[in-house]
Structure 1
Amino acid sequence: MSGCENKIDIPSNKNMMLITSLKEPYLSFYDISKNKIIKSEKLGFVIKTMGKLSDDVVLFTKENEDGLFTLNLHTGKVNKVDKIGQGISMILPAPELHLCFLSDTEKNQIYFFDTKKMKITSKVTVGNSPVSLALDMEKGELFVADLKNASISTISIEKQKVIRSFPVIERPSSLFFDGNNIWVAAHGPYGKLNNHLYVYDKETGKKVKTIKVGLMPVGFFHPSSSQNLYVICHGSNEVYQVNMKTGSVNNPIEVSENPYFITGHGEKIYVSSLDGNTLSIINQNSFRLEEQIQLKDGPYIIYVR
Structure 2
Amino acid sequence: MLFGQDMDEMMMYTLSTGKEKKRWRVNKGVTDVLVTKHELLVVNEKDGTVSVMTFDGKVKETIATPPSPFSIVADDKHRQWIVIHFKDGAISFIDQATKQVKRTVDTLDFAVSGLVVAETDELWVGGHGSGAYIQQEAYVHSLVDGRLLARVKAETMPIQFSQTSEAVYVLCHGSNMLYAFEPKTKHAIRSLNIGANPFAMIKTKSELIIASYDSNELVFVDEKTFKQTKTVSVGQGPFYIFFRDAKEE
Q: Which residue identity lines up with residue 234 of structure 1 in the other structure?
A: H
Partner of 1:138, secondary structure, is helix
Equivalent of 2:184 in 232, 236, 245:
245
By relative contact order (CA 8 Å, sep 6+), the higher-ranking structure is: 1
**TM-score, normalising length from structure 1?**
0.75
- Asked if the contact 2:181/2:190 (under 8 Å) is kept, the reply is no
1:219-230 pair list within 5 angstroms: 219-223=160-164, 226-230=165-169
Q: Which residue identity lines up with residue 193 of structure 1 in the other structure?
A: I
- Asked if the contact 1:81/1:119 (under 8 Å) is kept, the reply is no
Partner of 1:142, secondary structure, is strand
- Asked if the contact 2:136/2:154 (under 8 Å) is kept, the reply is yes
- 1:290 has 2:229 as partner: yes
For the residues of structure 2 that align with 1:158 and 1:88, how far apart are their CA atoms? Answer: 23
- 1:301 has 2:243 as partner: no
Equivalent of 1:266 in 188, 201, 205:
205
1:116-155 pair list within 5 angstroms: 117-155=56-94
For the residues of structure 2 that align with 1:272 and 1:68, how far apart are their CA atoms? Answer: 23
Alpha-carbon shift at residue 111 of structure 1 (Å): 1.7
5+ long unaligned stretches in structure 1: 1-58
Equivalent position of 2:44 in the other structure: 104
Instruction: Please give the per-residue CA displacement for 1:99-147, whole angstroms capped at 9, x wherever unaligned.
Output: 22221111111122223x4433222111111112111112321101111
Instruction: Please give the per-residue CA displacement for 1:185-215, whole angstroms capped at 9, x wherever unaligned.
Output: 1223422211111111233332211111120
Q: Which moved further from structure 2: 228-237 or 64-73?
A: 64-73
For the residues of structure 2 that align with 1:148 and 1:62, how far apart are their CA atoms? Answer: 18
Alpha-carbon shift at residue 63 of structure 1 (Å): 6.7
For the residues of structure 2 that align with 1:250 and 1:188, how far apart are their CA atoms? Answer: 24
Aligned residues with identical type, % of pairs: 23
Equivalent of 2:103 in 138, 153, 164:
164
- 1:69 has 2:11 as partner: yes
- Asked if the contact 2:5/2:29 (under 8 Å) is kept, the reply is no
- Asked if the contact 1:82/1:120 (under 8 Å) is kept, the reply is no
Q: Which residue identity lines up with residue 110 of structure 2 in the other structure?
A: R
For the residues of structure 2 that align with 1:171 and 1:65, how far apart are their CA atoms? Answer: 22
Partner of 1:301, secondary structure, is coil
- 1:216 has 2:164 as partner: no
Alpha-carbon shift at residue 62 of structure 1 (Å): 5.0
**TM-score, normalising length from structure 2?**
0.90
Q: Which residue identity lines up with residue 8 of structure 2 in the other structure?
A: D
Q: Which moved further from structure 2: 203-212 or 191-200?
A: 203-212
For the residues of structure 2 that align with 1:173 and 1:282, how far apart are their CA atoms? Answer: 23
For the residues of structure 2 that align with 1:288 and 1:71, how far apart are their CA atoms? Answer: 34
Instruction: Please give the per-residue CA displacement for 1:28-60, whole angstroms capped at 9, x wherever unaligned.
Output: xxxxxxxxxxxxxxxxxxxxxxxxxxxxxxx22
Equivalent position of 1:86 in the other structure: 28
Q: Which residue identity lines up with residue 27 of structure 2 in the other structure?
A: G
Q: Which residue identity lines up with residue 88 of structure 2 in the other structure?
A: N
Q: Which residue identity lines up with residue 182 of structure 2 in the other structure?
A: N
What is the Cα-based RMSD across aligned positions, in Å? Answer: 1.7
Partner of 1:61, secondary structure, is coil
Q: Which moved further from structure 2: 201-210 or 165-174?
A: 201-210
For the residues of structure 1 that align with 2:176 and 2:99, how far apart are their CA atoms? Answer: 38
For the residues of structure 2 that align with 1:205 and 1:219, how far apart are their CA atoms? Answer: 20
Instruction: Please give the per-residue CA displacement for 1:133-180, whole angstroms capped at 9, x wherever unaligned.
Output: 111112321101111221101111221111111111111111111121
Instruction: Please give the per-residue CA displacement for 1:70-105, whole angstroms capped at 9, x wherever unaligned.
Output: 11112332133421133111122223xx22222111
Q: Which residue identity lines up with residue 241 of structure 1 in the other structure?
A: A
- Asked if the contact 1:227/1:245 (under 8 Å) is kept, the reply is no
- Asked if the contact 1:151/1:168 (under 8 Å) is kept, the reply is yes
Equivalent position of 2:122 in the other structure: 181
5+ long unaligned stretches in structure 2: 245-249
